Structure 1
Amino acid sequence: MITIKEVARHAGVSMSTVSYVLSGKRSISEETKRRVEQSIAALGYHPNAGARALASNRSQVLGLVVPLRSDQNLPVIMQFVSSIVASARDYDYDVLVLTKEAGPGEAHRVTARSMADAIIVMDVESADPRIPELRSIDAPVVLLGMPDDHEGLSCVDLDFETAGRQMAGHLAERGHRSIALIGSPPAVYERGTSYAARLLHGFQSETTKRNMPASVHSCAPGYDSVSACLDAVLHPDRGITGLVVHNEAVLGTLLLELRRRSLDVPADLSVITLCPDDVAASLPVPLTSIAVPAQELGAIAVEMVMTRLTQEQAPEVRLLQPRLTDRGSTSTR
């Protein structure tokens, strides 16, 4: 392992000079600083995390409040987590995972005790009860999601409302006149999860604008729930020809049940969904979809929080515009 002594020898300076360059505690000439930084890069030196934390008064840790719920799709959640962890490492930061069950005061506890320098929060609700606490934290906070009241907080998310509009509009533009939304499990709507509420609002706004008959069906995972949901969706009185699905966990079961009922996608029923690209492309019938850009959103959340750690930065909201990929699962009527 490369030591600070070897860096100093390589750069032709004292060990204290290298230490001052790393900590920024003393002014060092630009020429000397550049020479030390070049030696660090050339030798592949990595400062000891504990020593660096003492020098900078930082923990080099980001706190991540992440949902661990039975009604969440864990593989998708883990795409966000892996992106945040990988992006944090690019800044030489580690990630401390805080579960929802730890309580609403956990984010304040870990920052007050210097266990984490900043907080990223997932599983954001429209009327999130944690907002007052998050506003009071004396550390940067970024929400991966957007509550109704986000004043004074930085947020990044997919524009779910626009996604709902686009998916309904996609079917309307192909001549569909009666469509349905198969949405998230009931518990997701009951607790007012922001992304689900925003997509629902976009879907309903678009169908109302186009004067399209449309129904909404919350669907729990599991074969019996999916079958019962389809019984309601496909009731002959509805005349449904197109489905918008916002529920990654049921997609595979849904397609298998449609096949069991001798319904072809897209000849008999068009299907469009919102989910990660790799999920949509690997299903028994590849689905036209709007992507959940988990990797991009996680990386942006880390970049936003690191920017606020290093400089004065006003709170901002970034909503990524939806990206639709046509995989042939919607037909023209």
Structure 2
Amino acid sequence: MILIQSSRHNMDSDNQSEEASSLLTTTGTTFSSFSVIPGLGYISGKAIHRVGSVVVDGIDAVIIRRRLAQIEAEIRQSQTYTPAFKFAPPADRLNLLPLDHLDGLKKAEICRDLLELSRAVYGSSIQNRANRLFLRLVALGGIKELAVEIATKPTSHVHDLLKPIFIFYRSFHTTEIEHLKALGYDPRQPNNSEISELVHNPIRFILFLGMAAFQSPDSRFSQLLMDLDIAGYIVDMFQFKIHEDFPRIVWSVVYLLIRKLDAARDASYISELERITDLYADPSSLATLWKFSSIAQNAESFEPVVADWENFFEQEKQWALGQTRVGIMTSLIHYP
């Protein structure tokens, strides 16, 4: 491995050379002696947190790109929509949800690193790659660990991550499409899996946002979703043929948002959500909504609803395995 020194390293040659040597030794051991590259925290923050807002180059870039490559490989094992997996035997299709083959700690580490590397301070190349992997995870259904991590991130960071998805759904104005291209993906291209999967599977995106709102310690995440016009997004989804469980799921998310928002400060947001409920919820959906209302008198006791969401994912997983057994497996991303 060749160490490419930058001007940042030359500012303090003695100290930086010593640090670079240490990093080189560490990474050499890491990549040659371990079958799985440890998370970014393994490097004691040297390769990640010390770069701050400066350009990532040399050994820093090598470490970061290798970590992204490892994350991408782990996610690829969970991708159920690729042709190679469509008609595979059930024994080879056990990992139908994102990162199912990893334990909780490793999932959390991947999610934490992915969100960290999606920050603008790492430069457009690294940020765009991390953004695409983030969108791929969400398109595959999202996972609880990712919801937990994103719920605690700064509002500005989360806004930058989620806004492109909402832009794609709500408008195709030229300036906004250019904004999406600048972030590393073009939603008009049919082979753009990251966002196109979300188009065909809005229920997974809604569920992911609901889980993140549930994990948020206060109302800020729910306020952010309202600022991004999740209400308009929900209304738009009712114009398309979607999964039969969509009404049940979406109204539970709406109710959660109402409970998490501040009754005084967010009164206009709450009124907007209640208006959507009045306009679009059928009697059976309203019955479900009020059932949730009687269960959860506050957002902290919303576990029964979250359990219902997790049950939905488990049912979807079993359905997919059954479809595989009869040889007509289609992508979980594309509902009939």
Structure number with larger C-alpha Rg: 1
TM-score (norm 2): 0.25
Which structure carries more strand by proportion? Answer: 1
TM-score normalised by length of structure 1: 0.25
